Structure 1
Amino acid sequence: MSRQPNILIVPVDGSEGAGEAARYAVGLAEGLGAPVRLLYAFPKDPVDMFGIPTEAPGPEELEYFAPEAFDRLRDQSAEKAFAATRKAVGETPVEIQEQIIAGSPAEAIVGHAAGEDDPMIVIGRRGLSGFKEFLLGSVSQRVLHHAGCPVTVVR
């Protein structure tokens, strides 16, 4: 990519790291004249989120297997993440978009970015210890290694 980004994609989850990434992206976006898209990844369906029950689920777990309840959980979770990010960013003249995507976070983020024209991903790093990150990996690491566009990891 030799052109400047047309959009800055910021995956958010309500964490402090996501807020830092969003603040950084907004600063870049001001200079570039590009919009910022806050992206919230949520599992595709209850089985993707909770797995297949091996025992009879209790009423709390069973509730979210109903499509309406699962959609409500997704929307409430996304709104909390978007609200925390908007609070972290504060007032800005930059156009900020919000979008929910389905799937496991790293794969969904990379797939979303692949469908955009000249995107740049700005992602926060959770800050797991080096050993835990080595064993478990992280969303930011997977995005960094698999995205076909520039990725900035904000610490």
Structure 2
Amino acid sequence: MTLQHFKSVIVPLDGSENALRALDYAAALAKANGMALHLLHVSPPTPTELMKAMGYSQRLRRLADASMGDFVELRQEAGEQVLAAARERLPADMAPVEAIRSGDPAHAILEYLESQDDAVIVMGRRGLSHFRELLMGSVSEKVLHLATCPVTILR
């Protein structure tokens, strides 16, 4: 299958240099092939979301919600800053689709992929230490192994 069969390029962005290099590559790829460019930022889950995933009781999660304050607003603002920095690197004639999601980055990227028809993913490799990667796993590795589309990972 050639790139002619794909309609869009999804670029997950975390603000890192590797992600910005992936953005440059993805923008050129999208422009050369007449594809839409999707900028995706995945924000970390809230403490309440983490507590739910870990099986904490609803009572404890409500207490955490009450003390969370402006976390969600700050998380949204941080995501918008990452997307704004990405937009600045793009040619003036490119109008990307932008999305901010929250949660586990690999799962959020894959869920976003499911909402798109005929997409490819271009992403940077964050470059975790070998020890941390053994413990946590790599987002790019998870996406590479679980995605149902071509994935390009740039360093």
Q: Is the TM value for this pair above 0.5? A: yes
Any residues of structure 2 matched to 1:97-108 within 5 Å, and which? 97-108=97-108
Q: 1:50 to 1:13 in 2, by over 3 A?
A: farther
Give the Å deviation of 1:79. Answer: 1.3
**Partner residue, 2:67:** 62
**Partner residue, 1:71:** 72
**Partner residue, 1:125:** 125
**1:46–1:70: 8 Å Cα contact kept in structure 2?**
no
TM, length-normalised to structure 1: 0.80
Q: Which runs of 5+ in 2 are unaligned?
A: none
TM, length-normalised to structure 2: 0.80
Q: 1:120 to 1:147 in 2, by over 3 A?
A: same
SS of residue in 1 equivalent to 2:22: helix
Any residues of structure 2 matched to 1:1-155 within 5 Å, and which? 3-43=4-44, 45-48=46-49, 62-64=67-69, 69-87=70-88, 89-155=89-155
Q: Deviations over 1:4-32 (max 9, x none)?
A: 32010001111111111110100101111
Q: CA–CA distance in 1 between the matches of 2:46 and 2:126?
A: 25
**2:27–2:90: 8 Å Cα contact kept in structure 1?**
no
Q: CA–CA distance in 1 between the matches of 2:124 and 2:112?
A: 17
**2:9–2:26: 8 Å Cα contact kept in structure 1?**
yes
Q: Which runs of 5+ in 1 are unaligned?
A: none
Q: CA–CA distance in 2 between the matches of 1:49 and 1:104?
A: 10
Runs of 4+ aligned residues of structure 1 deviating over 6 Å after TM superposition are: 50-53
**1:19–1:84: 8 Å Cα contact kept in structure 2?**
no
Q: CA–CA distance in 1 between the matches of 2:92 and 2:142?
A: 30
Q: 1:43 to 1:128 in 2, by over 3 A?
A: closer
Q: CA RMSD in A?
A: 2.6
Q: CA–CA distance in 1 between the matches of 2:19 and 2:72?
A: 23
Q: CA–CA distance in 1 between the matches of 2:47 and 2:132?
A: 27
Q: 1:49 to 1:85 in 2, by over 3 A?
A: farther
Taking every aligned residue pair, what percent have the same amino acid on both sides?
41
Q: Deviations over 1:28-75 (max 9, x none)?
A: 01111111111011245441257767xx98xxx9243xxxx2331222
